[in-house]
A and B are shown apart, each in its own frame.
Chain A
Amino acid sequence: MVKKSSMAAAGKEPGRAPGTQAAIAAASCCAKRGTRHTSSPGNQLSRTSAQSRGVPSPTPPRARRTDVTPGSPMAAGGGHGRGSWGSHGETAAYGAEGRGLEAPLANGRARLNNSRRGAVTAEGTVCGIECCPRRGGPQRAMLRRALRLGLGRGLLGRGLGTWRGDSTLDWDGKVSDIKKKIQSVLPGGAWNPLYDTSHLPPEHSDVVIVGGGVLGLSVAYWLKRLEKRRGAIQVLVVERDYTEYLAVVDDPPLDLQFNPSGYLLLASEKGAAIMENNVKVQRQEGAKVCLMSPEQLRNKFPWINTEGVALASYGLEDEGWFDPWCLLQGLRRKVQSMGVLFCHGEVTRFISSSNRMETASGEEVTLKRIHEVHVKMDRSLEYQPVECAIVINAAGAWSGQIAELAGIGKGPPGTLQGTKLPVEPRKRYVYLWHCPQGPGLETPFVIDSSGAYFRREGLGNNYLGSCSPTEEEEPDPGNLEVDHGFFQDKVWPHLAQRVPAFETLKVRSAWAGYYDYNTFDQNGVVGPHPLVVNMYFATGFSGHGLQQAPAVGRAVAEMVLEGSFQTIDLNPFLFSRFYLGEKVQEHNII
């Protein structure tokens, strides 16, 4: 039997948020002791804990970077090792969680060393020397006390106030806390004697995926699925913003809430030829699509007003919409069960090295290689440099910023070094409304020739829809505020014209989101960057990323593992097309 390490058995890997129990316990412990968590940068906290431990001031684990040999490319990192020490001191001020967790360890040890008073036994009564005079001399009492320390659960016992047998102490939390600590001490655990680093990402990872959305998780899934040996590749997914429940093992099968009702695209006179062409391509690839005239459309869907419609294409089989959140959850669950590590943090810096090379024709080219990714923790200045071999940019609407961090686009315009990643966030609204006389259960996802679209949502005559604004009307992507005037002026007129029942409707709610809009040709960027050799892109799909995520994930995983696309050829979508000016225009962005 091959035993799993305790980390794998616990399911879970560094990067989990520390148990709040421990944090609360720590905070209260320290509060009682009178230390402050919000100390000024000056390592007051570490000094206090050093005092209680009786060991000299510890060097933080990150400062080990200075030990690296100067010749290596890490020399650049060595310089900032000191910097990390400085920032580490600062985090003592802000990272209450990060520092607070080591306090119970320190305090616990301190208490073991010092004499205890008011150790609470399992029965809940105290057994100090004072209340048990029958028990014999002080040595016996001390022996008893020591035994109770070992057998009882009072390792993290608080001060004198608890010796009345208060049941407000959280025994279950304490027990699981201690179990966790013992597990981490045993071989295979991630015990760091100086600090608790369970909330930080690991120090090394083969592949770092920036962005934990559907594309990032898809790449992670395929990397784990296509690796040659089980556990061959360590993958870390860094996601800046997710508030959700982490997966549970042995789950019921994934239910995507797929509605196979199909898409209905309507075309006016001028779009009819393009639509026929598109349908031809779709049929070649095996899609079951049918073309309908206005007459057939009226027979099938009597609630449509076919004025201005010349042709309609309707997907018959395996076409419809599903819940992207379910897909994300399912992917996250599966990918975690395959051993991918997660980290809640933000990528703030790339440490890379450059090499000057000459091409065959004698031109000089500077190739860059990323060596470290700095992952900053949420709401803290603490960061962890993660050494990695490959970085995958799946950061969606913020991929442009990540690319800039890697130095892509820093050069004279018109050259390859000066070509930026043309992906920027674009705000889009979605509105949910109720219309009691609206179309029934058979309503497909209707996309009007004007660009407005809607679909049925649930069983209660609710509908969801919107319209993409034109270039001139692009809203400001600085915030996610919804403009209800946009619905009144730009969306509703088209909807009411196409479906007369929508003349009376009531908007129930609305929200906004970002498209990772590719300003060059609205199609995705896939594959490595020609100059930054170990950064791979999987972004820029301008609203179509969800449907293309599984395929793109596989393509990028194959590119990483094999060096070229195997199953599907995505060479037209490489980064170099921005420099060469070869557009692969996507027309059907809704």
Chain B
Amino acid sequence: MAAPKASLHLVAPIWKGGPRGIRGLSRTVAPEGNQRKGRTVLQFLADRFYDVQALREYLLRKQVSKVHQKNRSFTYVKEQYGPYIAAAYFVLKQGGAVKFQGQEWMRPNGRGRFSLEFFKFQAVPVEAVDASGCAINYQGLDNLLALKELQSLSLQRCPHVDDWCLSRLYQLAGSLQELSLAGCPQVSERGLACLHHLQNLRRLDISDLPAVSNPGLTQILVEEMLPNCNVLGADWAQGLKLGPEEQSQDTARSIPA
């Protein structure tokens, strides 16, 4: 599984022009135009010098391993404190929020710190997980799949959640009632086809999925696949051309929030 395209942008500002050395390092925050130019300079050099190419590959590998490290499984915590604590620790470490049954939402503060007071909730199941924007990937999902009483899962805007991850969600079928995949760049209609296992699902958000080829048609097919579920997403008439008299009717049929 290759790293998404977004990650390559991180490489360019750090290493613009290998032979220039330290001077290039000062430009860590570059605007979009410079970023693209920086990438072509880097590409130009990487094409001609083995050192620059090896360095570039090394930096890319380091990025991938960083994501990998974030998604390691916390087996020690799991053995000591149980699956709920391990999952909560994992989510909080990634920057997401977690809600135990009967408790309030817990999330890390602005600096990524969070209190470890939830370690006393060993027997309390986790009810809801909000992992929006977290770098959770296929391996990291291991930590979440042990939550057999999870009712709500939000994976909005997760850059590494893809079709393979969706094929693993069947393990939460017993309890999951709410799932949100809005804004995930790697989820396509092929992954959405695996969601038919989640028969208890009541709310599914599949809006703003750039990798889905035909959002309107996909929404119809998903609605057919999950008859008891309220599917939020693209307006199914999005792909159709409306006549002038139908335009006013369209505004009445707005998507519920």
Contact = CB atoms under 8 A, between A and B. Distances in A.
Interface of A: 1-4, 9, 11, 230, 249-250, 252-254, 257-262, 316-320, 440-442, 456, 459-460
A459 B43 contact: no
Which 5 residue pairs of A and B lie closest in terms of their CB atoms, listed nearest first?
A: A253-B2, A260-B167, A442-B196, A2-B50, A441-B221
B210 to A, nearest CB: 12
B196 A441 contact: yes
A497 to B, nearest CB: 24
Given A230-B50, A442-B196, A459-B213, 5 more contacts: A1-B50, A2-B50, A2-B51, A249-B47, A320-B190
Given A4-B50, A261-B194, A459 B214 contact: yes
A456 to B, nearest CB: 8
A440 B47 contact: no
A459 B170 contact: no
Nearest to B224: A440
Nearest to B192: A441
Contacts of B76: none
Nearest to B4: A253
A317 B170 contact: yes
Contacts of A316: 167, 170, 197
Contacts of A259: 163, 190, 193
Contacts of B2: 253-254
Interface string B1-22: 1111100000000000011000
B23 interface: no
20 contacts: A1-B19, A1-B50, A2-B50, A4-B50, A249-B43, A253-B4, A258-B190, A259-B193, A260-B163, A260-B164, A260-B166, A260-B190, A260-B193, A316-B167, A318-B164, A320-B167, A440-B225, A441-B193, A441-B225, A459-B189
A465 B252 CA distance: 43
A4 B46 CA distance: 10
B170 A4 contact: no
Contacts of A440: 221, 224-225
A250 B167 CA distance: 29
B221 A258 contact: no
Nearest to B1: A253
The dominant DSSP class at the A interface is: loop
B225 A317 contact: no
Nearest to B3: A253
Contacts of B47: 4, 9, 11, 249
Interface string B146-188: 0000000000000000011011101000000000000000000
B51 A442 contact: no
B82 interface: no
A300 B167 CA distance: 16
B201 to A, nearest CB: 13
Contacts of B52: 1
A4 B48 contact: yes
A2 B49 contact: yes
B193 A442 contact: yes
Nearest to B162: A258
Contact of A260 (B194, B213, B221): B194
Nearest to A290: B170
Given A261-B193, A318-B167, A459-B217, A253 B49 contact: no
Contacts of B222: 441
Interface in B195-251: 196-197, 213-214, 217-218, 221-222, 224-225
A254 B5 CA distance: 10
A192 to B, nearest CB: 24
Contacts of B196: 441-442
Given A3-B49, A318-B167, A459-B214, A260 B191 contact: yes
A254 B186 CA distance: 12
Nearest to B44: A9
Interface string B46-64: 0111111000000000000
A456 B1 CA distance: 24
Contacts of A442: 193, 196, 225
Given A250-B43, A258-B163, A459-B214, A441 B50 contact: no
